[in-house]
Structure 1
Amino acid sequence: MNEVMWLLLTYKVPAEPAARRMAVWRRLKGMGAVYLQNGVCVLPKTDDHIRRLKMLENEVAEAKGDSVILETVALDRAQEEKVVSRFKADRDEAYDEFIDKCDDFEREVAKEIAAKHYTYAELEENDVDLKKLQGWLAKIEKLDFYGGERAEEARMRLKGCEVVLDDYARRVFDAHDEDG
């Protein structure tokens, strides 16, 4: 078995103020951590994750909490797959949400085309929305440590949104005699 190394963090933060507990949870989810149960999560072992967990350990201590960081491996392949499948499920959930937003983006542009609403302001607004989608997908992919099943679909959907916006931009420019 080619062992996958993880960092296991166990922590406990006092219930009050709740904002501190929430900040720790947000930071860990933002790193892509998977919770095995309350206060116990894992991340793939990387230098960046070690550094960030050590910083988080200090924050937990400042909040009068307690934490322990361990390096670990799964007992066997079946246990390893359980953990990896949790990482994949979390990413696929994020990809699902992203794909839904791509649907919304394409519907919005189609609505503008149907209404023949070809304005620079609308084009700029849609361009901003596309840039948000591009940034969001990049964040999801950064946390996709084990290749979520919907990753390729999400990339293809983003490309579709880019094509839709390019078509809308051409229509706006044509409407204002600025094409070419």
Structure 2
Amino acid sequence: MRATSWLLLLYSLPTGQKTERVAIWRRLKKMGAVQIKTSTYLLPDETAQYEQFQWLAQQIRDYGGDSTLVRAQEIEGLTKEKVTAMFNDARAKDYAELRRSLQSFIGRRKRMDAEETAAELERLTRQFREIRAADFFDSPRGHDVAMLLRRAEGPKRARQLEKLEVKHYQGKTWLTRPRPEIDRVGSAWLISKFIDRKPKFVFAPTADAVPDAIPFDMLDAEFSHHGNYCTFETGAQRLGEGGLAG
């Protein structure tokens, strides 16, 4: 999303309305709004978000409170980059919580029956979709959790990995997401050591950002998580014997 303006919801509720206050806070959290001051929340200026704020403003008035909805091109003291970072930080926290739940589920899955597994997986998938719907600026953490969710879905998604012919992967540009962690760092080492003698590595949040590059450890990329394999393991499996670049 490339927001060119912002929506601000300013509101107040009568003292003592704790239940109503919590209900409003939960609604704001679910729609992905970020707080910039006490009782002042922010969303990108898009039709869907405007309608959500309108509905919430009316609910606040129904509770006996006051609400004002403002459209602003700029917010003093907050650049677009800072606002985007605020949204991404908020979504990163949501994704981190979901990531912990997914890791716990993966660890317990073998001890669960089919009905329990399906119910919890459905709940986790629904939670991911809700966070994703409020991920207006494509938080990098979302891709990590999406791949972990695929792993949580189990080996049914795995497919036979074709052996890699390294001669077709020489002097290529390899693309991954910014701020690499251990799997991406290890995968880059594997690429430079055993696949591509002269690789060039670039970083971007999405695979289509650099059209001619080969994405790795990104959602739906050829070099990524497959079944229970992480990206590094996928690359190692595809190399097989005799597939080293030398």
Distance in 2, matches of 1:57 and 1:156, equals 37
Q: Which has the higher helix share?
A: 1
Corresponding residue of 1:177: none
Distance in 1, matches of 2:121 and 2:87, equals 27
Q: 1:126 to 1:164 in 2, by over 3 A?
A: farther
Q: Tell me, what secondary structure is at the counterpart of 2:113?
A: helix
* TM-score between the two structures when normalised by the length of structure 2: 0.59
Contact 2:3 2:44 in 1 (8 A): no
Corresponding residue of 1:53: 53
Alignment deviations for residues 119-173 of structure 1 (CA, whole Å, 9 cap, x no partner): xx81121111111111111111000000112111001000111125779xxxxxx
% identical equivalent positions: 27
Q: CA deviation at 1:109?
A: 1.9
Contact 1:8 1:72 in 2 (8 A): yes
Corresponding residue of 1:139: 130
Structure 1, 139-148 or 121-130: larger mean CA deviation: 121-130
Q: 1:70 to 1:146 in 2, by over 3 A?
A: same
Corresponding residue of 1:22: 22
Q: Which amino acid in structure 2 is aligned with residue 159 of structure 1?
A: R
* TM-score between the two structures when normalised by the length of structure 1: 0.79
Corresponding residue of 1:9: 9
Structure 1, gaps ≥5 residues long: 113-120, 168-180
Q: Which has the higher contact order (CA 8 A, sep 6+)?
A: 1
Q: CA deviation at 1:73?
A: 2.2
Q: Which amino acid in structure 2 is aligned with residue 44 of structure 1?
A: P
Q: Tell me, what secondary structure is at the counterpart of 2:153?
A: helix
Contact 1:127 1:165 in 2 (8 A): no
Contact 1:14 1:64 in 2 (8 A): yes
Q: Tell me, what secondary structure is at the counterpart of 1:146?
A: coil
Q: CA deviation at 1:38?
A: 1.2
* Aligned length, in residue pairs: 157
Cα RMSD of the aligned pairs, angstroms, is: 2.2
Distance in 2, matches of 1:75 and 1:33, equals 15
Q: Which amino acid in structure 1 is aligned with residue 116 of structure 2?
A: E
Q: Tell me, what secondary structure is at the counterpart of 1:150?
A: helix
Q: Which amino acid in structure 2 is aligned with residue 92 of structure 1?
A: A
Q: CA deviation at 1:4?
A: 2.2
Q: Tell me, what secondary structure is at the counterpart of 1:74?
A: coil
Which of 140, 151, 161 is equivalent to 2:152? 161
Q: 1:94 to 1:164 in 2, by over 3 A?
A: farther
